Structure 1
Amino acid sequence: MLRSLRLDPVLIQALIAGALSFAHLHDLAEAAGQHGWKAWAYPVSVDLLLVAAWRRMRTLRAGGDSAHAAWVWFIIALAASLGANVATAGLLDMNHIPAVLRIIVAGWPALAFLGGTLLAHTPTPPADTPASGPDPAPSDPEPVADITVDRAPEPAPELPAPIPPAEPEPKVPAVQVPPALVEHARKVADTHRATTGSPIDTDTLRARLGVPAPMADAIAAQLT
């Protein structure tokens, strides 16, 4: 059991600071005319308001709400504690306390009561509602009986009408022949028919006109 008891330096420092602040508040209250148990009640009131404001501030901040009001009461309690420490450091004559300080000490109980009441009755942010359980599985639908419906046979689709074959386009000679040359070739062909009694052939026409073979074929195609 002795091993589980450990001295925490932070806790010791807090106890020493709290005891000194408690004593300074007591001395200031007694110097301001509050004797007996009243002088001991003042430091208790200041420290309790300081702790209550700090705890309320942490609760509000944890819930994501504004903690401005708790901050105000925390600063008021801290100023009372710090002011008592400074006042008892020799800056004031403890045998002749100023009237303003006596008024502040005398009015502190009402101020502390107001702050403690507001901190205690501030609505606490609602806790998150537990998540609802999964939705119940839907019941299986009733089986539907298979119903066969006889349908009339669909008519056969109409076939498109046959497309008539396209008429062959007239053969166009690959070589363009001047009309004057065609007329001259026609005269040469007529002379050859009158002389020989047979139509002129392509080779003879090409030799008579002195044109290349493709042009001679084109001229012969126009003479037929």
Structure 2
Amino acid sequence: MTRSIRPDAVLVQAVIAGALSFAHLHDLAAAAGQTGWKAWAYPVSVDLLLVAAWRRLRSDGPSRLAWCWFIVALFASLGANVATAGFLDLEHPPALLRLGVAGWPAVAFLGGTLLAHAPKSAEDRVPDSPAPATPVTEPVTETEPEAEPVSAVVDTPALPAAEPAPAEPAPAAAAPAVPVPAALVDHARKVADDHRARTGSPIDTDTLRARLGVPPQLAHAIAAQLA
């Protein structure tokens, strides 16, 4: 029940504050010699400039232009509230007040135009979607198997006694399996799925190695796990 009352109280407070500020701006414009509909147009102009600057701040983030015009409109509204509180003789307004009220339409038009049509800065533009970061892996040291010496076979003339055939060299030790981190395998699977979705064909080892930036042996090991 309390949560449903709070927005209503805030709305009532906003309506009261807006009505008082609107009336003060109207009284100040009327005291400065603006009569009829012109006196009612001044509070509308001030409040619209204030709202436009606030919306620019909410949509584009911090901006010097938006903050500048927000402060200008806020000071105009606050100045009208203070001036109508008895600090100025509205029966005989000073010439500076008349000058400010007379020049406000041009100032408000300039501020509204700049807020509506000023281009966004480079920071406000939508950046391109960043490429997926490649997880950093420790460099894999490639160990080459030591080749065992192979005995050379020398052609000899035939002898009465047959000599035993030379022993065949032992097969070279198989290359050790390259360890592949699990995180790199998961990232490679995402890259392969993206390639298949874009091209309709599975990714080959060379393309996978180029996309991941890994050595050929590691790329073959990853491709074997993705198969």
Match of residue 81 from structure 2: 85
Alignment of 1:38-53 (within 5 A): 38-53=38-53
Matched, 1:28 2:28: yes
Separation in 2 of the partners of 1:22 and 1:82? 11
* 1:114 counterpart letter in structure 2: L
Match of residue 113 from structure 2: 117
* 1:27 counterpart letter in structure 2: D
Percentage of matched positions with identical amino acids? 66
Separation in 2 of the partners of 1:92 and 1:121? 37
* 2:11 counterpart letter in structure 1: L
Separation in 2 of the partners of 1:7 and 1:56? 24
1:100 to 80, 96, 108: 96
Match of residue 142 from structure 2: none
Match of residue 12 from structure 2: 12
Please state how far the C-alpha of 1:138 moved relative to its aligned partner. 3.6
Larger radius of gyration: 1
* 1:79 counterpart letter in structure 2: F
Secondary structure of the residue aligned to 1:93 is coil
Separation in 1 of the partners of 2:205 and 2:116? 54
Q: 1:146-196 deviations in whole A, cap 9, x for unaligned?
A: xxxxxxxxxxxxxxxxxxxxxxxxxxxxxxxxxxxxxxxxxxxxxxxxxxx
* 1:59 counterpart letter in structure 2: S
- Name the CA shift for 1:6/1:95 in 2 (closer, same or farther; >3 Å): same
* 1:99 counterpart letter in structure 2: A
* 1:126 counterpart letter in structure 2: R
* 2:50 counterpart letter in structure 1: L
Which stretches in structure 1 are left out of the alignment for 5+ residues?
142-224
* 1:13 counterpart letter in structure 2: Q
Give the TM-score normalised by structure 2. 0.54
Match of residue 70 from structure 1: 66
Q: 1:71-128 deviations in whole A, cap 9, x for unaligned?
A: 0100000000000000000111111000001000000000000000000012243334
Separation in 2 of the partners of 1:98 and 1:41? 21
Alignment of 1:158-173 (within 5 A): none
Secondary structure of the residue aligned to 2:92 is coil
Separation in 1 of the partners of 2:110 and 2:41? 16
Which stretches in structure 2 are left out of the alignment for 5+ residues?
132-190, 207-227
Separation in 2 of the partners of 1:140 and 1:10? 63
Separation in 1 of the partners of 2:7 and 2:110? 37
Q: 1:8-65 deviations in whole A, cap 9, x for unaligned?
A: 111110100000000000000010010011000000000000011011012221xxxx
Q: Give RMSD over aligned pairs.
A: 2.4
Alignment of 1:71-220 (within 5 A): 71-124=67-120, 125-129=124-128, 134-135=194-195, 136=199, 137-138=202-203
Give the TM-score normalised by structure 1. 0.54
Please state how far the C-alpha of 1:6 moved relative to its aligned partner. 8.5
